[in-house]
Each structure stands twice: as structure tokens, then as C-alpha cells.
Copies of this chain bind each other. A is one copy, B any other.
Amino acid sequence: MIVDTLLERIVAMQNPTCVGLDTAFEYLPEAMQAECRTATEKAEAIYAFNCDIIDAIADMVPAVKVQIAYYEALGPAGLQCFAATLAYARERGLLVIADAKRNDIGATAAQYAKALLHGEESGFASDFLTVNGYLGSDGIAPFVEESKASDRGLFVLVKTSNPSSGELQDLKLADGRTVYECMGDMVERWGAGTWGAYGYSRVGAVVGATHPAEAAVLRQRLPHTFFLIPGYGAQGGNAEMIKNSFAAGGMGGIVNNSRGILCAYRKTGGDYAEAARKACLAMKADLLSVLGEIHA
């Protein structure tokens, strides 16, 4: 069961870190950028960069999150690079999260699930997919079904890391809950009956590192929900803030960092892959300094 696999890798590596391959062309070293004119050339350069990053971190990080928007911006050639990046990461033993925040209903949601979870025909097979639950159960059910059929997992947006996330998500409902608590409750319901060996379901939640008070509420409220935690580093989240998103033993979550890893070389100078590896090691040490030893 894929969530168990993810947790076992986190424990074995003692590292609840996910590296975000949100690889904007502009993140590449200028020398690499200078050689590219067409979308195809840019996509090939991004793929080469991604492979170097993956090689540098594959032995110490359990998962990568690949943000599809950066690939979509380059059209079909970019999406070929997206497919190749997912495949290379899996080949190197990493679990892959397709960060696509897809949402639609019925037959259309089933097409997205086919595209980004199952992936045999599209080439976009991933282990986890981020989704948006604004449409309610029949927007999520097709993704849950595909997850069960092909052993995948989901992360539903619950409390996002951006400054204005509260405009809708923090509003109080007449029943006393906030909108994000209500979404969290739906996530627990959608995941019911899909629990793995460690008590976490296939339907996880996105809970931003930048909102530690809300994270504490959600960690308590959603005992079977695994958290994908964006917002560490560039967006302002730190290890102390992230502690609230984890259950006992440092279980129940994984923290993403994209720009802080991909662009580490811009601060340190030198080789980007080496800088990425060092940034990963520093992040691991930072997280473990507050979480302690991770264990089931």
C-alpha cells in the first residue's frame, strides 16, 4: 500500500523531505539557458537538470513532487519532459507526487485520474496526485477509485500555504467549523476504509507549513490523514512551525521544498546538483532537530 511504502522509506532514510521539481526554465544556470531557443530545447535542458538533481538526492530522499504547471508552460514538449522526469525518478527508486491540483466531476475526473495516476497511456503515471475538493464527493470519488485500483494516493488541498489562503479557508461556518476544518473532515471521510498498516489512508491532505496553529488543529482532527506540507524555506515555513503537522514519532507527514533545493547553487555558488544535495542534508538535519528519531 503506497502510503505505507512512503512511511517506511521516511523511517528508513530518517528523512520526511520531498524535493519539489518545480523546475522553471529560469532556475537553470545561465550557461544552460543560453543554449536553448525552442520549447523542445528548453524542455530537454530542464530534463537534464532534473536528472542531475534526482541523481544527487535519490539515496537520501523518499519522494519528489513534480509541479506540472512548469511543464505545461512549454506545451507538448514540456509535458514530454514531465513524463520523462516522473519515469526517471521512479527508475531511481523515488516515489513521485504529481502536483497538479486537478478537479472536475464524474467522467472528466476519471480522465484526469487515468492521465495522472494510472498513466499507462499518458506516460504520466505517478504515485500520488494533488487534487482540489471544492466540487465535493463526486469530484473526488473517481480519483479515490483509481487510487484503490492501481495503488496510488491523493493529497486534497485543505489549508494551503499562501498568504491569502484564509480568505475562503478560514471563514467560520454556521456550525462553528472553519471551511478548512470542514474540508479536512471530508478528507477523513473520503479516506475511510483505505487505511494502511500505520493507520493512514490513501487520501491525504495539503497543509501549509506557514500556518502552524491551523496545522495543530488539523493534526488532532484528522488522525488517519497523511499530510503533504508545502511552504518550507522560500515561503517562510521553518522546522519549528512544521512540528505541529506531525503526529507522535514524527509520523504522518512529508515536507516539500522546491526552490530552496533547486536554486541552492545560487546562494552557495558551485555545482547545482552538489548544492542541492547539501541543501537536502541541511533540511533533513533541521527537521530532525525538532522531530527527533522518526519511528512507527
Contact = CB atoms under 8 A, between A and B. Distances in A.
B121 A136 contact: no
A112 B74 CA distance: 10
A122 B39 contact: yes
Contacts of A237: none
Contact of A101 (B77, B102, B175): B102
A134 B172 contact: no
B73 A122 contact: yes
Nearest to A138: B164
A108 B78 contact: no
Contact of A165 (B73, B123, B135, B160): B135
A111 B169 contact: no
Given A111-B70, A112-B72, A174-B173, A164 B182 contact: no
A106 interface: yes
B112 A69 contact: yes
Copies of this protein in the assembly total 2
A81 to B, nearest CB: 9
Given A134-B168, A174-B172, A69 B122 contact: no
Contacts of A108: 22, 67, 69-70
A9 B22 CA distance: 40
Given A134-B157, A172-B174, A122 B70 contact: no
A116 interface: yes
Contacts of A24: 107, 111
Contacts of A69: 102, 104, 108-109, 111-112, 115
A117 to B, nearest CB: 11
A160 B135 contact: yes
Interface string A85-129: 000000000000000011111111101101110000111100000
A171 B121 CA distance: 39
B74 A121 contact: yes
A108 B165 CA distance: 15
Contacts of A257: none
Interface string A49-92: 00000000000000000010110111111111001000000000
Interface of A: 22, 24, 39, 67, 69-70, 72-80, 83, 101-109, 111-112, 114-116, 121-124, 132-139, 157, 160-169, 171-175, 179, 182-183, 186
Given A133-B134, A171-B174, A179-B179, 7 more contacts: A39-B121, A69-B108, A72-B116, A105-B161, A137-B164, A168-B186, A172-B175
20 contacts: A22-B108, A24-B107, A67-B104, A69-B104, A69-B108, A69-B111, A69-B112, A70-B108, A72-B112, A72-B116, A73-B112, A75-B121, A75-B122, A76-B77, A101-B104, A132-B132, A135-B165, A136-B166, A138-B163, A168-B186
